[in-house]
Structure 1
């Protein structure tokens, strides 16, 4: 802890000679080793504590400036060691500023009254008129926000969580703001009631009011030109720049908001990206991306979303106000100029094309196309399972995790196939078969949840869902037995036994975290009834469930064995598992072949239009190959071929071990 002393007479005389003044020199305290040499044209007011100014700061471009104070008024401030503050037109008041900071040309830096610095600000997500407010705080995760926003049927839970967040806000309430170590703030307007973490860079921002910037050395935050933000929290690794306007928003870790994007009453969690467009009252789970002008995301819940240009939704029917909401489950895409009239609910990994005004609920049909044709909404179940884009997305999300902070707030499960999506496919198969029985197999079209399904789409949907279930179930069994020696049938059954009590029943997606519903229900009871429950306990719960995912997934798979294969785990023979592995291999190869064929479309003659603009057909083809390469050498195509080979080899290895077990059992 730094020890301070009062200025001596010689130091006061030196400071006065350097055009410095103080309301009361006895209220200016300095650290041991302090020198007044680099303090000029400075006014001190209230209690001021100064560190040592003995080193130079190197700025971009190689310019070096010595730490110190020049042309600044300080009121009730603490300044760390080797910090440079200069050219402040107004003043700096009620701030504790760390070491090695550089603050220049900032109009006003002020903490006024008591402030929680954005903590406990209520954000009206989904319903603009209120009812789903999420109070934000520094460590808000997508999972906790989901519970607060969506579990309004449990007012006791919401009240308890709200109280804990309010208590946290009170714990950080202060009359003095903080600026961490190594912070750079230059050419910025007013900063009022804002706490700023280590290594943050603020360059050219217009106004920051009532917020916290949780920057850290491992994941610095950048706030750029012309940014205006009020009532906000910005998490580590985020970038907010180029005219962004925020009001009552939480910005998660490694989010990028740039190029005139505007948002109010919205939550953005890890790795979201917003450019050019607008967001209003949205819950943007991890990897929600909107990058185009004229795109509006409003009153919706999204995650892993890719919004096309001109995507739009409506939450107002001009009756009782903007009260409607929509849910677009994880991994969905909206095409250019798509439109949704809320309320609506769209299934996971769906593609939305055209205008849809009939309030569809396709949540029971994941991986589908929702297409407008003749003013009707047509559903194509399972079509996205054979889309190259879907697989590319699943591969790129983990690679595009820009979080470098070792303390990650959001738990994110990237799995394309999981109990969450497979349970919906099983329900989808039942539903589609039920539609056939009810309306007749010769019907040309079927009605489902305000959409129309063509007969051909229905049959293909059943086939695609069946392939996906075979792939997932087989994957799970092979993974369970991978690298595991088994001497006899008892060893085999022992390895197949579930090891986690949780997993059976329905699974839910908590904005990126996939867990059994039962686990969440049990935790809710703990939150409500345990008086010593804390926000830290909730964080620990989500992390623990995230780490237990594969064990719980296997428990779920075991619970579905009887339905899918007609036998329980204990009844499976080596011959049964061989049959399952062969079904799995056929499903994997079939789906990969569909992906292969879908990728080939990108190399068709139509795709070559616009190449070789002034040449012959041969020159066009050569120009195309120079830019796009040949089909067989495309990285994704090579990946699909390699995937088929690797999965086949993995299945063959298990088949070989099972056959050895069968031979051994036969010999005995």
Structure 2
């Protein structure tokens, strides 16, 4: 049975906050007055104004509770019903126009309960508006219900006075069983979500994260919903416990409940037709259109949901777009793309710069008896058409996965690789270094694209978009000996010799890979245990990938050195040599798209654990500090990687060594630039690409000329600049 309560009409619009929750000496409006901030300058209606209001078919339970500004025009209030205290700002005989919607300033055909209005507001056909503070020049048109409760939390994971813990909102990321759940809050960054979902055995750290969230918000009851200046809301059905920034645009939404919608003049947010959003935080500059369903979610700034997308118990990072498909229980770092109705992502940690193709099903737990599986994917994760991956699986940075149903759990340590499921031979095949060999155009263009599309105005976290970065370079250093051992094993097996110890296997593998690529090309090379099955995993084109990956480490070092000398004019070799003496490598972590040395992350956690970091804002300041040190730390790491791959100690960082590395980098850059061109050229020479056009001229009209490709032209110009920079350094330092 529905519980319908009957109360005196004289109570409508009053007693918003129960007396038990009011501080001594305070009335139900004390928080409202703090929020409004302009309660002065209002007066009661004069007799003439009251007469006009009544003549215009307006009613009030108590006209003495209608407060107006000096510039109030009663002629612009018609057919409205007022309950409780209502304050109305300036009303002038104008109309406001937004995208061809033209409406007269004033309040018309609406029921208004205990609200404040700024200047020149447009309010037309709002059936029920309760406990809201409306800014200046706001347009509200055709809204069924818009109200705020006294316990509104606006999407934040807090509880109000008198509420039980069961009322708290949790967001269950990375795992369907709730074992990594966190409390959403306005201003949450990808790094915050990542740190909170990991390290679950550290109870003290977990408790501190909860306390940081509790301290950031007020538990008192009685806050009103707010609508910022120049926001437009039209043709919406239900808006409940939603606070909205300035310059937002909401049209045709079905249901918006318990939300914070951040918006401001330079980063406006928009919500479109048919959307149903419940229990969420929406960052600045977000776009949500066309039948989207989202529940228990956070959208970081400039992210998008479109075309019926479903986002549930998930965090969507900055500058990410999800269309059509379904995403559950996932933590997604910045620059994620997912556009297809039949793609599915569940219980995953996706570390950014990722793209999911049509038919991809990422996170099937059909190989488990419980909803407790997870997938972890490094930067640049790219599951191709109709890929099906099972829990638990883990993928190194820039892993491309070819079409197939992968029946077993995978642990792919090889970065920049192509993973293939060969059902005919019943083998898993991995091609390390695939991107550098065959798809350099996409790799390089994506790195440029992500930087160009980063629309954040307040870049608290320094997001790394370069593919040559500490996380991927550490992964390369990790897999080089794996490849050496695999090649050594393959050679001894082919020669029908007993396998020696690991040191000799590594030595033999490296010798063959560096000096006899032709012999390696003839070997069948098997990887170690990367799949939870009895079948074998074959490594492809190891003889080509191995030297190229080593070259990437050298290029990584030189590019960072050139960046250093370019920003520090007058820098000398002696200064660089001094930096090399302190250079060291080690594990790095991807903290929401921001790369940090593991030692820095441990120090950060310790400061949180011990209370030295007392708020989320302080933690965000630490992100900024780490970001300001990133280039220096990356330079040291890059030099250390370059030294290690060459087998040289810090003392071996000599002018001759640097000269050799510089010259090698020019060769590598030339190869990569050529591969960028060749990988795009395939689209123009492949007969299956060309067959849909009547002539080469038609093809060029449709897709453009290869020679006119602006990105290819830019890479060629960058190569010439790079060669000149290297030549100038060699000359200036007499190398």
TM-score relative to the length of structure 1: 0.92
Partner of 1:447: 527
Query: Number of aligned pairs?
Result: 647
Preserved CA contact (<8 Å) 1:368 1:382 = yes
Partner of 1:96: 133
Secondary structure class of the residue paired with 1:87: strand
The alpha carbon displacement at 1:439 in A equals 4.4
The alpha carbon displacement at 1:400 in A equals 1.6
Q: Unmatched 5+ residue regions in structure 2?
A: 1-37, 158-168, 495-522
Partner of 1:421: 472
Q: Does 1:233 align with 2:289?
A: no
Q: How does 1:134-149 map to 2 (within 5 A)?
A: 134-149=182-197
Distance 1:43 1:149, change over 3 A: same
In 1, Cα distance between equivalents of 2:728 and 2:308: 55
Q: Does 1:390 align with 2:424?
A: no
The alpha carbon displacement at 1:169 in A equals 3.4
Partner of 2:697: 622
Preserved CA contact (<8 Å) 1:328 1:346 = yes
Q: Does 1:113 align with 2:150?
A: yes
Q: Does 1:376 align with 2:427?
A: yes
Q: 1:356 aligns with which of 406, 409, 415?
A: 406
The alpha carbon displacement at 1:410 in A equals 4.5
Q: Does 1:52 align with 2:75?
A: no
Q: How does 1:19-38 map to 2 (within 5 A)?
A: 19-38=57-76
In 1, Cα distance between equivalents of 2:99 and 2:153: 37
Distance 1:492 1:450, change over 3 A: closer
Secondary structure class of the residue paired with 2:342: coil
The alpha carbon displacement at 1:26 in A equals 1.6
Partner of 1:401: 454
Q: 1:609 aligns with which of 666, 690, 705?
A: 690
Preserved CA contact (<8 Å) 2:487 2:525 = no
Q: Deviations over 1:252-292 (max 9, x none)?
A: 11111111111211110101101111111111111111101
Which sits farther off after the overlay, 643-652 or 127-136?
643-652
Secondary structure class of the residue paired with 1:548: helix
Partner of 1:631: 706
Preserved CA contact (<8 Å) 2:462 2:624 = yes
In 1, Cα distance between equivalents of 2:473 and 2:552: 8
Q: Does 1:14 align with 2:52?
A: yes
Distance 1:338 1:189, change over 3 A: same
Partner of 2:667: 586
Partner of 1:462: 546
Which sits farther off after the overlay, 248-257 or 477-486?
477-486
Preserved CA contact (<8 Å) 1:493 1:569 = no
The alpha carbon displacement at 1:497 in A equals 2.9
Partner of 1:213: 261
CA root-mean-square deviation: 2.3
Q: Does 1:73 align with 2:154?
A: no
Q: Deviations over 1:523-571 (max 9, x none)?
A: 1111111266211111011122122211111222344454234444454
Q: Deviations over 1:66-94 (max 9, x none)?
A: 321111111111111110111123x1111
Preserved CA contact (<8 Å) 1:143 1:411 = no
Partner of 1:433: 484
In 2, Cα distance between equivalents of 1:75 and 1:650: 68
In 1, Cα distance between equivalents of 2:459 and 2:145: 33
The alpha carbon displacement at 1:225 in A equals 0.3
Q: How does 1:187-202 map to 2 (within 5 A)?
A: 187-202=235-250
Secondary structure class of the residue paired with 2:120: coil
In 2, Cα distance between equivalents of 1:23 and 1:287: 53
Preserved CA contact (<8 Å) 2:324 2:340 = yes
The alpha carbon displacement at 1:654 in A equals 1.1
Partner of 1:573: 654
Partner of 1:286: 334
Preserved CA contact (<8 Å) 2:596 2:630 = yes
In 2, Cα distance between equivalents of 1:229 and 1:169: 22
Partner of 2:627: 546
Distance 1:229 1:167, change over 3 A: same
Distance 1:631 1:14, change over 3 A: closer
Distance 1:485 1:40, change over 3 A: closer
In 2, Cα distance between equivalents of 1:626 and 1:94: 58
In 1, Cα distance between equivalents of 2:604 and 2:222: 33
The alpha carbon displacement at 1:222 in A equals 0.5
In 2, Cα distance between equivalents of 1:550 and 1:12: 67
The alpha carbon displacement at 1:168 in A equals 2.0
Secondary structure class of the residue paired with 1:564: helix
Partner of 1:322: 371
The alpha carbon displacement at 1:355 in A equals 2.2
Partner of 2:200: 152
In 1, Cα distance between equivalents of 2:582 and 2:130: 56
Q: Deviations over 1:485-529 (max 9, x none)?
A: 769xxx522244339989742111112101111111101111111
Preserved CA contact (<8 Å) 1:480 1:496 = no
Secondary structure class of the residue paired with 2:217: helix
In 2, Cα distance between equivalents of 1:499 and 1:9: 83
Q: Unmatched 5+ residue regions in structure 1?
A: 614-619, 663-668
The alpha carbon displacement at 1:62 in A equals 5.0
In 1, Cα distance between equivalents of 2:108 and 2:197: 48
TM-score relative to the length of structure 2: 0.84
In 1, Cα distance between equivalents of 2:205 and 2:300: 24
In 2, Cα distance between equivalents of 1:109 and 1:238: 22
Partner of 1:43: 81
Which sits farther off after the overlay, 561-570 or 538-547?
561-570
Distance 1:159 1:229, change over 3 A: same
Which sits farther off after the overlay, 113-122 or 265-274?
113-122
The alpha carbon displacement at 1:167 in A equals 2.5
Secondary structure class of the residue paired with 2:401: strand
Partner of 1:616: none
Q: 1:473 aligns with which of 557, 564, 574?
A: 557
